[in-house]
Structure 1
Amino acid sequence: MTDLSFIRPDCAWDLGATLGEGPCWDADAACLWFTDIKQRRIHRLHPATGARQSWEAPDQPGFALPRAGGGLVVGMPHGLYHFDPGTGSFTRLAGVEEDRSGNRLNDGFCDAQGRLWFGSMDDAEEAATGAFYHWSGGAPARVLDGICITNGPATSPDGRILYHTDTVAQTIHAADIQPDGSLSNRRPFARIEAGAGYPDGLAVDAEGCVWTGLFCGWSIRRYAPDGTLLGSVPFPVANITKLAFGGPDLRTVYATTAAKGLSVQERAEQKLAGGLFTFQSPVPGLPPAKVRA
């Protein structure tokens, strides 16, 4: 097992997010994008200067990922939108689940081909109405269905495996990606034991290991490609929602957290809950890609 327990994450931005999510490193601009779903905000951090900027979204933004043609692709309830940070405007790109009124989009990822992978979920976190999709323009293609809270997703370094999370079932799955984007051979990759938290957003490092934030779990875990637990990074807050590798050498980990669900007493004890955290990883992450559609 790799000892990660000595790592002590620092709070890079104490912004008190209700549900911080979706950190994504933009290598060209050397900045980090992330969202606060429940406060309907999109945030940007320039680590080199410490500059911070925030924008209001018209609805709950599950993710905001850089787009190859400029701007970002933002997932909001029932649609994908182009976001222009210069003007703050949102332009609809594609409809998603307009027949599932209680759903919203939650967590997205761009693979090395520039293809967007994302999930949906029941906003009330009760019904198994969530699904996973990929999008390269046109109508999003549904590849999995019947999940309450979708999270992840991320791909292996060779782009052949999709890792995706069924949070309520405390299970990370793996599936083989076919040339047309469909999935086959879906199987459990890692199960989180009872009482240890719920797997949330994922990232894969250059060695093919899978890192996951644990909601209610006070840590980030690292798993080997065969699903063996390698180690964990302890956090001073309970709800870690997702991580991303960034910085010039892709060894700086940025992790979003959430104050959602904490009692008044827990909030007082976890003063940095909802903050953006950072630490140095012993291995680099994979180069981030931009959505090409």
Structure 2
Amino acid sequence: MFTPKTLISDLYVGESPRWHDNRLWFGNWGGAQEIVAADLEGKTEVIARGPKPAGFCLDWLPDGRMLVTGDDQLLRLESDGALVTHADLRGVGSALNEVVVDGRGTIYVNSVGFRFGEEEFRPGSIAMITPDGSIRRVAEDIWFPNGMVVTPDNSTLIVAESWARQLTAFDIEPDGSLTHRRIWAQVNGDGITMDADGAIWTSDVAGDQPIVQRVREGGEVLDRIELDGACFACMLGGADGTTLFLMLADWRGVENMGEMFSTRTGRVLTVEVAVPRAGRP
């Protein structure tokens, strides 16, 4: 029996949670436009201002510097708090969303492909930035790419295709290319996180009952937690890697996104689970 507990409240929309350096890091999208770090007691620290009202996501280079997605630039947070361009992704992606850095320092950034709520749908893509700075697109026709994970052995990248209602996997080749595209699980996903058994916790805002669920490759649902609000992302972390952080806010539909981003309905819930975090982020 899972019993979620409230860790943090009074956010706008918490997104892109990451467990890093013994704290939970996330974006407080909307009215705050903040990058926030929090300890396990719920004490928060604003690290920097986000580069845009919504859609910015976080990960870290091997040397510890933070990366943040902008509109068409991958940004890097410097020690003085400034966000500077790490990679210019114009021409390979637009409306950048999630970012993940694998164990070799290769960066994968996905782009939605259209301005959500402002333009007609277009499929998105995934771009790769190698440690030497070369940039190229490595996957296309991704139907609203959201959360991504890389397996602990750096062999597989899995991305949530929210508008296809599936998790899609790719093999990672030695040069970082993505091949052997396949459906990993036919379940809805937004933010995702992997555990040491190779299962994925995935948030699901679709349907009448908001849930987060744990699935294995092939789609078998291993665990399911019903929630009292839409869960936009999740992340395993904590001292033992077994705290599941859930980012909730009131979802009012695309036509009311402005209202969602201007009201403080965002919360971070925690649930203790049995299997610890693995892979990246």
For this structure pair, what is the TM-score category when the shorter chain's length is used for normalisation? 0.7 to 0.9
Q: Determine which of 149, 162, 169 is the counterpart of 1:174.
A: 169
Q: Determine which of 197, 204, 209 is the counterpart of 1:207.
A: 197
Q: Determine which of 11, 20, 23 is the counterpart of 1:16.
A: 11
Q: Secondary structure of 2:109's match?
A: strand
Moved over 4 A (4+): none
Report if aligned partners of 2:26, 2:58 keep a CA contact under 8 Å in 1: yes
- Going from structure 1 to structure 2, the CA distance change for 1:116 and 1:259 (only over 3 Å counts) comes to farther
Q: What is the correspondence of 1:1-293 to structure 2 with a 5 Å cutoff? A: 6-18=1-13, 20-26=14-20, 29-39=21-31, 40-48=33-41, 50-53=43-46, 55-59=48-52, 60-84=54-78, 87-97=80-90, 103-121=94-112, 122-124=114-116, 126-137=120-131, 138-192=133-187, 198-217=188-207, 218-237=210-229, 239-261=230-252, 273-286=265-278
Shift of 1:280: 0.8
Shift of 1:156: 2.5
For residue 195 of structure 1, what is the aligned residue in structure 2?
none
Shift of 1:70: 3.7
2:60 aligned partner, one-letter code: P
Name structure 2 gaps, 5 residues minimum.
none
- Going from structure 1 to structure 2, the CA distance change for 1:209 and 1:148 (only over 3 Å counts) comes to closer
Name structure 1 gaps, 5 residues minimum.
1-5, 193-197
Tell me the distance in 1 between the aligned counterparts of 2:82 and 2:10. 23
Tell me the distance in 1 between the aligned counterparts of 2:42 and 2:200. 30
Tell me the distance in 2 between the aligned counterparts of 1:109 and 1:30. 18
Report if aligned partners of 1:21, 1:256 keep a CA contact under 8 Å in 2: yes
TM-score norm. by structure 1 comes to: 0.81
1:204 aligned partner, one-letter code: M
Shift of 1:213: 0.8
Report if aligned partners of 1:31, 1:47 keep a CA contact under 8 Å in 2: yes
Report if aligned partners of 1:12, 1:278 keep a CA contact under 8 Å in 2: yes
TM-score norm. by structure 2 comes to: 0.84
Alignment deviations for residues 80-128 of structure 1 (CA, whole Å, 9 cap, x no partner): 11113x533111111113586xx42112222222322221112225422
Tell me the distance in 2 between the aligned counterparts of 1:232 and 1:49. 25
Tell me the distance in 2 between the aligned counterparts of 1:58 and 1:177. 30
| Aligned-residue identity in percent | 24
Alignment deviations for residues 197-239 of structure 1 (CA, whole Å, 9 cap, x no partner): x4111111001111111123511111123432212122121x2
User: Which stretch of structure 1 is more off in the superposition, 223-232 or 165-174?
Assistant: 223-232
- Going from structure 1 to structure 2, the CA distance change for 1:68 and 1:160 (only over 3 Å counts) comes to closer
Shift of 1:54: 5.1
Tell me the distance in 2 between the aligned counterparts of 1:70 and 1:188. 33
2:84 aligned partner, one-letter code: T
Tell me the distance in 2 between the aligned counterparts of 1:203 and 1:214. 13
- Going from structure 1 to structure 2, the CA distance change for 1:104 and 1:249 (only over 3 Å counts) comes to same
- Going from structure 1 to structure 2, the CA distance change for 1:99 and 1:178 (only over 3 Å counts) comes to closer
* Number of aligned positions between the proteins: 268
Q: Secondary structure of 1:69's match?
A: coil
Shift of 1:140: 3.0
Tell me the distance in 1 between the aligned counterparts of 2:168 and 2:195. 17
